Amino acid sequence: MNHITSLKCLICGKEYQPDEIDYVCPDHGYEGIVDVQYDYGLISLSFRPQNLADDRDYSIWRYKPLLPIEPDSPVPPLAVGWTPLYEAPRLAAPLGLKHLWVKDDGRQATASFKDRASAIAVVKAQEKGAAIITTASTGNAAAALSGICASVQQPNVIFVPETAPPAKIAQLLTFGSTVMLVHGTYDDAFDLCLQAAETYGWYNRNTGFNPYMSEGKKTVSFEICEQLSLTPGPSPAGRGGMWQAPDAIFVSVGDGCIIGGVHKGLRDLLELGWIDHMPRIYGVQAAGSNFMAEAWQAGLYGLRVLEKPPIDAHTVADSISAGLPRDRIKAMAAVVDTGGAYVTVTDDEILAAIPVLARGCGVFAEPAGATSYAGLVKAVEQGLVSPDDRIVVINTGSGLKDVKSAMTAVEQAGTRPYRVEPNLADLQRVMAEIGR
């Protein structure tokens, strides 16, 4: 048995047993997103930080008792989770900060954060014996589902906007998914996918609809707090078995599922008593896709976020382009309940952040991945963080996902390659030129 006690509707608070509903609260339709509730007392009886210290399974599955899957369910073989957490002093210093880490989820199996959620989707679908899994996606959730399905030979149908970057579409086709390039936006693809899933009875992985996706995404918070406890200093045992929560976490926001997951993971750890405080969570949005930032600014907290109509979303950071963030209730709570903030950055600031992040710590991010770092820069300007804060910035996707944007970014940064004939004399000419 897993440790789920109920699925609780975020709108009416009604609680369901996991076998009563598949996705949302029937009384509230697509907006009736449910939050998975666990029996923390029961979990604590057998699952402690000390167990994990001896566990060599360095993947999200090390946290199985806190995941919404059966203990004996087979998990996909593709490596998901336990991505590196790099300390980044050269990025920190120019910002006047002392403690900064970059959590690099570009290092996931399919090169984005979305593997954390898609891995859970595949396990849940197989628990239900689903013949086909489907999702709509700006690209990364699709690539993640596609790759993990390929690893277990699970048929799947994917809906992406036809404008998705070629690398992401190449992943889908290479993994052998059935790919629907939708002539429209991500929001159009989402709606079509929901209809398709209902019509054909497919298992639906859609973000902000399937309640288990935030549960996969929360594993990033487990890893951050466990990894921080492994850095030099008193050992976890010396701190009474406690893990270490940072003071602030920066994450980019499109649909709001990742930020909701980050919050959920921290709430789990606080409930279990494995961390002693809740970090402030900062959501970073692109200026052209800033639904959450606008709603937060307008004070539309709690369920009032549902009052805001969709916006027209346009940004170079395709992965966070969302006119109507599907997980907006959780995304609002993550910031409001933790004393964080929403920060907005322009497309130029996002592009500028790509080479700065890469040169400052060796992490190559796609635009939506570098957005979190651009948001940190903005937060420093706005005085939202203090020099002593221990800060984690999450890179959510690899730069190889969108080479075109990377090339634009380096061009704007004034970096260019040199052209040289294949002989030493010409190289010496170029070197002399560089010397000048």
Q: Residue 22 belongs to what H/E stretch?
A: none
Instruction: For residue 423, give every residue at least 6 positions away whose Cβ sits within 8 Å of its Cβ, in sequence order, or none.
Output: none
76 or 369: CB nearest ligand PLP: 369
State in angstroms the smallest separation of the CB of 137 from ligand PLP: 8
76 or 208: CB nearest ligand PLP: 208
The neighbouring-strand residues paired with 161 are 182
Single out the residue of 262, 234, 251 nearest to residue 369, CA to CA: 251
φ/ψ (deg, to 5) at 165: -55, 140
- Determine contact, residues 104/137, Cβ cutoff 8 Å: no
From ligand PLP, Zn ion, none, which one binds at residue 253 (CB under 5 to 8 Å depending on kind)? ligand PLP
From ligand PLP, Zn ion, none, which one binds at residue 397 (CB under 5 to 8 Å depending on kind)? ligand PLP
Residues that bind ligand PLP (CB under 6 A): 112-114, 140, 207, 252-259, 319-320, 366, 368-369, 396-397
Kind of pairing between the strands at 99-104 and 85-87: antiparallel
Single out the residue of 295, 320, 317 nearest to residue 405, CA to CA: 317
From Zn ion, ligand PLP, none, which one binds at residue 256 (CB under 5 to 8 Å depending on kind)? ligand PLP
Residue 19 structure tokens? 């076998």
Closest-CB residue for ligand PLP?
A: 397
From Zn ion, ligand PLP, none, which one binds at residue 25 (CB under 5 to 8 Å depending on kind)? Zn ion
Sign of dihedral through CA atoms 172, 173, 175, 177? positive
32 or 256: CB nearest ligand PLP: 256
From Zn ion, ligand PLP, none, which one binds at residue 27 (CB under 5 to 8 Å depending on kind)? Zn ion
State in angstroms the smallest separation of the CB of 26 from Zn ion: 8
From Zn ion, ligand PLP, none, which one binds at residue 252 (CB under 5 to 8 Å depending on kind)? ligand PLP
207 or 227: CB nearest ligand PLP: 207
255 or 347: CB nearest ligand PLP: 255
State in angstroms the smallest separation of the CB of 317 from ligand PLP: 7
Across the chain, how many H-helices and E-strands are there?
Answer: 16, 13
Number of alpha carbons in the 13 Å side-chain half-sphere of residue 355: 15
State in angstroms the smallest separation of the CB of 8 from Zn ion: 9
From Zn ion, ligand PLP, none, which one binds at residue 242 (CB under 5 to 8 Å depending on kind)? none
Instruction: For residue 393, give every residue at least 6 positions away whose Cβ sits within 8 Å of its Cβ, in sequence order, or none.
Output: 88, 100, 101, 102, 103, 249, 250, 372, 373, 376
State in angstroms the smallest separation of the CB of 331 from ligand PLP: 7
From Zn ion, ligand PLP, none, which one binds at residue 28 (CB under 5 to 8 Å depending on kind)? Zn ion
Q: Quote the CA–CA distance of 146 and 413 in Å, as a whole number.
A: 34
- Determine contact, residues 402/315, Cβ cutoff 8 Å: no
Sheet holding 280-286, edge to edge: 85-87, 99-104, 390-395, 248-252, 280-286, 341-345
Instruction: Kindly identify the residues of this chain, within the stretch 3-42, that bind Zn ion according to CB under 5 A.
Output: 9, 11-12, 25, 27-28, 32
25 or 259: CB nearest Zn ion: 25
The number of residues that bind Zn ion (CB under 5 A) is 7
113 or 202: CB nearest ligand PLP: 113
93 or 400: CB nearest ligand PLP: 400
List interacting residues with Zn ion (CB under 5 A): 9, 11-12, 25, 27-28, 32
